[in-house]
Amino acid sequence: MQSETYNHYWQKGWAVMEGVFSREEADRIAQIALEVSTREMQESEDSYVVDASAGGETAPRKIDTPFLKRTEFQAFVMDRRLTQAVEQMLGAPPLLSGDQVFMKPPHFGSAKPYHQDNFYFQCDPGDHVITAWIALDDVREENGCLRYIDGSHKGPILPHEAVPGEPYNLVPPPELIDLAKESLALVRKGGVVFHHSQALHTSHRNESDQWRRGYATHWVTSEVTSSNGTLDKAYFRREDYPVAV
């Protein structure tokens, strides 16, 4: 990893690394994600899984625990090109705690409001918890790139409250989010955006003709504990947790 990427991560709380996977590898995983999410959508009305427009149309929103659903996902996220990059960022061997695929269909995918992952995870130390978000499409402003508040990982975990009608979206009070410090994380298909557990981040609605799918993997080190049981079902605790290859 270039020291520029590492320094950017620790100074701003996030960083982009292009070309971790090939475009073909990303395409293959994106296709499987589409199959899985389309099937799950047909079987569920859960708002975590299904995005609904005001007009009542639906589209896939998210795949929860993809790692547990297809061996192809497991092999993808346990690839050494990814685990080595995460290890370099953390400075210690990374353990996969959880994952999810955020689907954002063209002209549909809804916004994910500002939040800090560590409000959900309640992990300590926060510096040892990182998300590696793998771009399964070319990610631009128009199709809903990730956006970060630079340096917010150095601040406290803010209070979060549920957005009315969206129980899965907990957000801090808007006056605590300094939008003057917002940066856009543009990344090409196969690249990875890393973010610190306390970095404030968001993504807007997909306003474009192109998909925007992101595979978020959450990693911790062996030092990390959680006060709310987040790690009880962490993948690295499973007997069948695979070694990185």
Ligand X SMILES: O=C(O)CCC(=O)C(=O)O
- Gap between the terminal Cα atoms of the chain: 18
Beta carbon nearer to ligand X, 68 or 170: 170
Shortest Å, Cβ 134 to ligand X: 10
List C-alpha distances in Å: 177 to 10, 28, 68, 158, 181.
Answer: 19, 37, 35, 10, 9
Q: Does 214 interact with ligand X (rule: CB under 6 A)?
A: yes
User: Between helices 80-90 and 3-12, what is the axis angle to 10°?
Assistant: 60
Q: Does 112 interact with ligand X (rule: CB under 6 A)?
A: yes
Burial of 96 (0-12, 13-18, 19+ CB in 10 A): buried
Shortest Å, Cβ 97 to ligand X: 13
Beta carbon nearer to ligand X, 69 or 112: 112
Shortest Å, Cβ 164 to ligand X: 19
**Cα–Cα distance for residue pair 216/101, rounded to 1 Å:** 6
Q: Does 133 interact with ligand X (rule: CB under 6 A)?
A: yes
Q: Does 216 interact with ligand X (rule: CB under 6 A)?
A: yes
Shortest Å, Cβ 195 to ligand X: 7
By CB under 6 A, what part of segment 171-210 binds ligand X?
201, 203
Size of the site for ligand X (CB under 6 A): 9
By CB under 6 A, what part of segment 3-32 binds ligand X?
none
Shortest Å, Cβ 118 to ligand X: 10
Please state whether the peptide bond connecting residue 159 to the residue before it is cis, i.e. omega within 30 degrees of 0.
no
Burial of 87 (0-12, 13-18, 19+ CB in 10 A): middle
Shortest Å, Cβ 239 to ligand X: 27
In whole angstroms, what separates CA 77 from the centre of its chain? 12
Q: Tell whether the torsion through CA atoms of 47, 49, 54 and 56 is positive or negative.
A: negative
Binding-site member from 83, 110, 116, 131 for ligand X (CB under 6 A): 131
By CB under 6 A, what part of segment 44-73 binds ligand X?
none
Residues of this chain that interact with ligand X (CB under 6 A) are 102, 112, 117, 131, 133, 201, 203, 214, 216
